[in-house]
Structure 1
Amino acid sequence: MTARPMGERALLLEVASLEEVLAVRAALEASRPDGVIDIVPAARTVLVRVDPRVLAVPAARSWATAAAAHAGPTAAADQPIVELDIVYDGADLAETAALLGVSADELVRRHAAAEWTVAFTGFAPGFGYLVSPEWPFDVPRLSSPRTRVPAGAVGLAGAFTGAYPRETPGGWRLIGTTGTRLFDPDAAVPALLAPGTRVRFSSRRDESRARPQAVGSPRGGSAVVDAPRAAADLQPGVTPGIRIVEPGLFATLQDLGRPGAGSVGVAVSGALDRAALRTANRLLGNPEDAAAIEVTMGGLRAIAERDLWVAVVGAWGPLRLDGHEIDPYQAHEWPAGAELHVDWLAHGVRAYVAVRGGFDGRQALGSRSTDLLAGLGPRALRGGDIVGIRPDAVGPIPVAPPSLWSAPHDDELEVALAPGPRADWFTAAALETLFEAVWTVSNDADRVGVRLDGPGLARTRDDELPSEGMVPGALQVPPSGRPTILLADGPVTGGYPVIAVVTDAALDLIAQARPGTRIRFRHARPPA
């Protein structure tokens, strides 16, 4: 086993096989100390994320390596078993069987006869990567992934089988459909398939049941559109707060996110500029994690349904309240019927509109944050939405001294990098280039990640990296050699090597970096 750094707040334990991953994960869970936020198994690694205020990373490394060294085979009989109904009606069933040199009936028989185990999750909340010692096949993915795969589709890829909890793109070969609900964010245990769970597929024929078809497959197929999610607006029994006139380019509700749910495939999400969110809430006497509206690039117009207090923090642009210009980083009275206009932002990317008491919206896993990639929390705001206000203020509105704040720097940033787990996959020249080059934020930037333009980073090896746990700030380097910085809505696991990790404090800077912003990386100072 090898322990590898994953930035300043996590580490990767690398082992030789999936069987060892399951054993190590079980050993870590059995002795988990305070301060461990998440334990995320993957194909050959187990990611351990910690809160360094509670548990220092060196201490976590000592605990994790000692626990892993004593890990034994998991007792499969002690693990829960879940039965998934399945109709073997997948669009790729016949073609996949032919590819493997067996009949479709034989493929179905072997798939249904095997007992499967959830090795790890990722890709989407509740998506389990299932393995079985009784499954002899290695199935290549589709050469061209589908743009949409319907919820409930059961597929094969590599040594794995898995079922799609919701409609997403996907490159797995589809062999069937299950009607079992795989992920329910409102349930006490949201993911039906957690690491270590035993699974059996129960084949049945039900001609009356609608069978969704894959969209964008080589055979075409009819579109299946998810029903609209519950609006990000008024919850039952909550007093109306504001009415959205125009959301601008993109506006969502965000709090401090969902840490600790990576093992069931759920990203951290939450405000990308957490310092701005915390500041906005402090200006209003709110808890620091109260939900605010994250406004991307500006354009928001909203009318107060009752008398409120409001503060706008983060990116800078013209702000008008009832037609009068107001200052950012101050609490302002917002009378009923008055319109707040967050005009197009001149500096930075994301402004945070907070109100006293905090905004209300659909909760998922203890957070009101919108995660569009996972389909969790409230949807993005639209014109006409009514957003409720919570009574969560905990203190008086403080007197804020002026001139403490300035516009975000969006011309050139200096960003600290902590070590990544796969730096040894890159040449010495690439590691030197990473810190000497000037990188530019591309137009390909959103809440999932920020792609950088600059020189290519050459690898020393070209083999495929098995999926492993990811963290916000990870610099993934695809075959193009140009890194992407993963952000709060980024994938829980990924298959591109991580050369380094942006420090936690510097992530707020990345959140405000506009396309064209230049970035210089420096080595992070080691912790005291």
Structure 2
Amino acid sequence: MSSPDIRWAGPRALLIELGSLEHVLALHAQLLEHPPAGQVDVLAAARTVLAVFDSRANAQAARAAVALLDSSPSADAASSADPVRIEVVYDGEDLAEVGRLTGLGADGVVAAHTGQLWTAAFGGFAPGFAYLVGENQSLNVPRRSTPRTSVPAGSVALAGNFSAVYPRSSPGGWQLIGRTAARMWDLDRDQPALIRPGCTVQYVAVRELVEVSEPAGGAPAAPQANAPAKAATGAGPALEIVIPGPQSLIQDLGRAGYRDLGVSAAGAADTASARQANRLAGNPPGDAVIENVFGGLTVKARGELTAALSGAPAPAEIEGPHGSRPAPMYAPFALHDGEFLRLDRPTAGLRTYLAVRGGINVPAALGSRSTDLMSGIGPEPLADGTVLPVGEVARGRIVGDPEPSTLPDDIAAGAMDRPVVLRITTGPRDDWFTPGSREALTAQTWSVTPESNRIGVRLGTTGAGAALERSRTEELPSEGVVAGSLQVPPSGLPVLFLADHPVTGGYPVIGAVIPEDLPAAAQLPPGTSLRFVAVDPETLQPLTSAPSL
């Protein structure tokens, strides 16, 4: 076979483009079975495999090794396990239309759908959503011209040459041909996803659905979240949420290794500040903290606590039976039993982190306590009355000394008179844009819009700036994306993906903010001006000429 087209997706990830889905699945299986050194995640898509690494050096070594791999499909590559049976009532709203589009009629569509095995090629936009490819092209139909604003959970659908089951209610433009009671995602199972890449599926027509009683119970539903423990009122220390503010979430360093299941890493948007808060409180770096946006948070200590604040500097006051006192930023402080900590609006930046010695000890989901707003996994957003248990303090852990802020000077100062500068590497799809737009990405100033959130920083133009224009107009098959990706939708206005970004995207990525600058990107409030500067991925020094990939 010809060599794969290997592109950089940021300095630590490879986007490997192959000639067919069969080659994608073969290479994906090889990378799962024999992962190169430092591989932290791998994701198959329609024509690409995304491999993410823990360092530039390991990514470079893997790039050289992947170029020599033979990704030709083998005869024994198919799954040897029995197919997963999915019972379907074929009464979907689009069944007659699919019958017309294919020329098969409604009964013929059912026969074609149940008469072949389907193979899970890759994960989708939500946990448990798997793109299934059939053995033939008989049911290849376009998406609906107008997507539905809400597709019911359990809907069985077709789009292109793929079939899928919606694991939860969500918008969607696929053609609906039936419904199932199969639970596509259940965190109470050892394997939460009913279907993983490489699995085979047999659809079975039934007249009515029999819902199997499971621990989580009932019909298909949204991915479960670990509800904050309002009943956690035991003898141990705890932190009570009195007022959550605009948004307060429990976050740690996230959950890697689940992209294939449609689950992003999530975790703290500003990992540098979250690590600092834990370091100051005497915790390991991965302990859970509270991530607060725009202040307004009030908490009450249950028991004697040691806490620390980091990230966006915000005036903070401690009030209790014996008076009030200010709480410092970037230094540990005591929070006595019954005292209240009130956090005001930040004077600069966007997100402030609160750590308590021992860490927030709520149940973990897929190995992490982080709230993932995109996937709906992890603790719910914090609400008044929520009681958060605090973990035991490991022996030998001591609080840290006061430190300076981890925020860059131009953000920490709160000055709005000059743009914040973020470093980027180009690609993997910069060749989809006109030369003028590739130049404009770094030549013009952009602004952060109010629609920004943990999924991504949405950008607008300023002054004489213009939206980016594509040189290629065809549809890009969905492919894996990393945090920091600058994805460009049809509007031409980039979206800078943050911690809760979708694992795949269908719009071209023109560049990626380097991992070292992502904490700064997460601290940009609406209205901030910013500029991008292209850097060499090896030295992180500004480029003076086209990058050598």
TM-score by length of 2: 0.89
Secondary structure of the 1:452 match is strand
1:490 aligned residue: 501
- Alpha-carbon deviation of 1:403? 5.2
* Alpha-carbon separation, structure 1, partners of 2:82 and 2:59: 32
* Alpha-carbon separation, structure 2, partners of 1:165 and 1:225: 7
- Alpha-carbon deviation of 1:108? 0.9
User: For the Cα contact (< 8 Å) 2:127–2:223, is it kept in 1?
Assistant: no
2:215 aligned residue: none
User: For the Cα contact (< 8 Å) 1:373–1:489, is it kept in 2?
Assistant: yes
User: For the Cα contact (< 8 Å) 1:255–1:270, is it kept in 2?
Assistant: yes
- Alpha-carbon deviation of 1:200? 0.7
Secondary structure of the 1:142 match is coil
1:216 aligned residue: none
- Alpha-carbon deviation of 1:337? 0.8
- Alpha-carbon deviation of 1:91? 2.3
Note if 1:416 corresponds to 2:423: yes
The change in CA–CA distance for 1:479 and 1:137 in structure 2 (over 3 A counts) is same
- Alpha-carbon deviation of 1:508? 0.3
Secondary structure of the 2:31 match is helix
Question: Given residue 496 of structure 1, which amino acid in structure 2 is its aligned partner?
Answer: Y
1:297 aligned residue: 294
* Alpha-carbon separation, structure 2, partners of 1:354 and 1:282: 9
For residues 112-191 of structure 1, what are the structure 2 equivalents within 5 Å?
A: 112-191=114-193
Note if 1:283 corresponds to 2:294: no
Question: Given residue 28 of structure 1, which amino acid in structure 2 is its aligned partner?
Answer: L
User: For the Cα contact (< 8 Å) 1:148–1:169, is it kept in 2?
Assistant: yes
1:358 aligned residue: 359
User: For the Cα contact (< 8 Å) 2:332–2:402, is it kept in 1?
Assistant: no
* Alpha-carbon separation, structure 2, partners of 1:208 and 1:34: 46
The change in CA–CA distance for 1:404 and 1:498 in structure 2 (over 3 A counts) is closer
Residues 359-387 of structure 1, C-alpha deviation per residue, up to 9 Å, x if partnerless? Answer: 02231110000112211011111111111
* Alpha-carbon separation, structure 2, partners of 1:134 and 1:199: 14
Residues 502-526 of structure 1, C-alpha deviation per residue, up to 9 Å, x if partnerless? Answer: 1001100110001111111111233
User: For the Cα contact (< 8 Å) 2:426–2:512, is it kept in 1?
Assistant: yes
The change in CA–CA distance for 1:480 and 1:194 in structure 2 (over 3 A counts) is same
Residues 291-341 of structure 1, C-alpha deviation per residue, up to 9 Å, x if partnerless? Answer: 001101111111111111111110122111114222111111111111111
Secondary structure of the 1:88 match is coil
Residues 85-111 of structure 1, C-alpha deviation per residue, up to 9 Å, x if partnerless? Answer: 211122222233233333211111110
* Alpha-carbon separation, structure 2, partners of 1:490 and 1:238: 38
1:369 aligned residue: 370
* Alpha-carbon separation, structure 2, partners of 1:147 and 1:177: 17
| Structural RMSD (CA) | 2.2
The change in CA–CA distance for 1:472 and 1:174 in structure 2 (over 3 A counts) is same
For residues 173-252 of structure 1, what are the structure 2 equivalents within 5 Å?
A: 173-206=175-208, 229-233=225-229, 239=236, 241-252=238-249
Residues 102-129 of structure 1, C-alpha deviation per residue, up to 9 Å, x if partnerless? Answer: 3211111110111000111121012100
Secondary structure of the 2:85 match is strand
Secondary structure of the 1:257 match is coil
Candidates 45, 50, 54, aligned match of 1:51: 54
2:216 aligned residue: none
Question: Given residue 231 of structure 1, which amino acid in structure 2 is its aligned partner?
Answer: A
The change in CA–CA distance for 1:468 and 1:392 in structure 2 (over 3 A counts) is farther
The change in CA–CA distance for 1:137 and 1:238 in structure 2 (over 3 A counts) is farther
Secondary structure of the 1:114 match is coil
2:112 aligned residue: 110
Residues 456-513 of structure 1, C-alpha deviation per residue, up to 9 Å, x if partnerless? Answer: 1111110000000011000001111111011111110111000101100110011000
1:66 aligned residue: 68
* Alpha-carbon separation, structure 1, partners of 2:362 and 2:333: 23
Candidates 433, 448, 463, aligned match of 1:441: 448
Candidates 19, 22, 32, aligned match of 1:19: 22
* Alpha-carbon separation, structure 1, partners of 2:223 and 2:7: 43
User: For the Cα contact (< 8 Å) 1:319–1:326, is it kept in 2?
Assistant: yes
For residues 25-40 of structure 1, what are the structure 2 equivalents within 5 Å?
A: 25-40=28-43
Note if 1:391 corresponds to 2:388: no
* Alpha-carbon separation, structure 1, partners of 2:79 and 2:195: 16
Question: Given residue 317 of structure 1, which amino acid in structure 2 is its aligned partner?
Answer: A
- Between 389-398 and 184-193, report the one with greater CA deviation: 389-398
1:9 aligned residue: 12
* Alpha-carbon separation, structure 2, partners of 1:11 and 1:291: 30
* Alpha-carbon separation, structure 2, partners of 1:402 and 1:168: 44
Question: Given residue 427 of structure 2, which amino acid in structure 1 is its aligned partner?
Answer: G
Secondary structure of the 2:349 match is strand
User: Across the two proteins, how many residue pairs are aligned to each other?
Assistant: 514
The change in CA–CA distance for 1:189 and 1:42 in structure 2 (over 3 A counts) is same
Note if 1:86 corresponds to 2:82: no
The change in CA–CA distance for 1:158 and 1:188 in structure 2 (over 3 A counts) is same
Question: Given residue 128 of structure 1, which amino acid in structure 2 is its aligned partner?
Answer: A
- Please, which runs of 5 or more residues in structure 2 have no aligned partner? 213-219, 540-549
* Alpha-carbon separation, structure 2, partners of 1:511 and 1:443: 13
Secondary structure of the 2:60 match is helix
* Alpha-carbon separation, structure 2, partners of 1:479 and 1:494: 13
- Please, which runs of 5 or more residues in structure 1 have no aligned partner? 211-223
Residues 231-279 of structure 1, C-alpha deviation per residue, up to 9 Å, x if partnerless? Answer: 2226877835111111100111000001111111110100000000000
The change in CA–CA distance for 1:202 and 1:506 in structure 2 (over 3 A counts) is same
User: For the Cα contact (< 8 Å) 2:24–2:71, is it kept in 1?
Assistant: no
User: For the Cα contact (< 8 Å) 1:28–1:67, is it kept in 2?
Assistant: no
The change in CA–CA distance for 1:80 and 1:435 in structure 2 (over 3 A counts) is farther
- Between 30-39 and 91-100, report the one with greater CA deviation: 91-100
Question: Given residue 334 of structure 1, which amino acid in structure 2 is its aligned partner?
Answer: L
The change in CA–CA distance for 1:83 and 1:343 in structure 2 (over 3 A counts) is same
* Alpha-carbon separation, structure 2, partners of 1:239 and 1:420: 50
* Alpha-carbon separation, structure 2, partners of 1:358 and 1:159: 47
- Alpha-carbon deviation of 1:32? 1.4
- Alpha-carbon deviation of 1:404? 5.9
User: For the Cα contact (< 8 Å) 1:22–1:74, is it kept in 2?
Assistant: no
1:221 aligned residue: none
- Alpha-carbon deviation of 1:201? 0.8
Residues 170-227 of structure 1, C-alpha deviation per residue, up to 9 Å, x if partnerless? Answer: 22121111211112234332222111111111221226769xxxxxxxxxxxxx9969
* Alpha-carbon separation, structure 2, partners of 1:193 and 1:238: 42
User: For the Cα contact (< 8 Å) 1:234–1:388, is it kept in 2?
Assistant: no
- Between 418-427 and 66-75, report the one with greater CA deviation: 66-75
* Alpha-carbon separation, structure 1, partners of 2:90 and 2:55: 48
* Alpha-carbon separation, structure 2, partners of 1:37 and 1:167: 30
Secondary structure of the 1:506 match is helix
* Alpha-carbon separation, structure 2, partners of 1:402 and 1:458: 44
* Alpha-carbon separation, structure 2, partners of 1:329 and 1:117: 52
User: For the Cα contact (< 8 Å) 1:23–1:74, is it kept in 2?
Assistant: no
* Alpha-carbon separation, structure 1, partners of 2:221 and 2:259: 27
The change in CA–CA distance for 1:425 and 1:186 in structure 2 (over 3 A counts) is same
